Amino acid sequence: MNSVVIVNMRRLTSRLATLRRLSWADRWLLLQAGLVVVAVSLSLRVVSFQRAHAVLRRLTPRADRRVTPDAGLAPARVLDVARLVNMASRHTPLPNTCLHRSLALWWLLERRGFESSLQFGARKREGAFEAHAWVEHGGLVVSDDRAEHDYARLPWMPLKHDA
């Protein structure tokens, strides 16, 4: 076999080993995350961000119907969900951006009863304008692996949620 085939086989074997180490619940969440990232990516091609966000909010349990997760386990589980969304987003058939991943993560966290917020920012670096979207839980960034968050926050208001 040539070296390219061997490297690809090692990557596949490593990915399968990672998948096997996940619990069945995490495997299910990984599948959901991949589907949600793709659905968000497709929806943002057709409708505005505000409209897509409003639809996802309607698909989220109202605050009075939410199951409140154990506060002691919340930070670890939130980070697990974020990790699985990032993992799934690397293997979707469509390209995705921080906006797609953040909207998917925000929705998956809200569905599980974890309060989170979507954040948007912008910066100018080396003469280029950059924009970024991320998710915070309890004031901490949970959607990014990078520690660098020197974006100026941009305010935004979601459309009113239909009760």
pLDDT value for 163: 40
Q: Record the tokens describing residue 141, joined without a space.
A: 């960034």
Q: Is the pLDDT of residue 66 over 70?
A: no
Q: Rounded distance, CA 152 to CA 163, Å? A: 32
Q: In this predicted model, which residue has the larger pLDDT, 71 or 84?
A: 84
Q: Within 10 A of 80 (CB to CB), how many other CB atoms are there?
A: 16
Q: Rounded distance, CA 163 to CA 148, Å? A: 37
Confidence (pTM): 0.81
Domain ranges of the chain: 24-153
Q: Rounded distance, CA 114 to CA 34, Å? A: 19
What residue type is assigned to position 43 of the chain? S
73-86 pLDDT, tens digit per residue, is 778 899 999 999 99
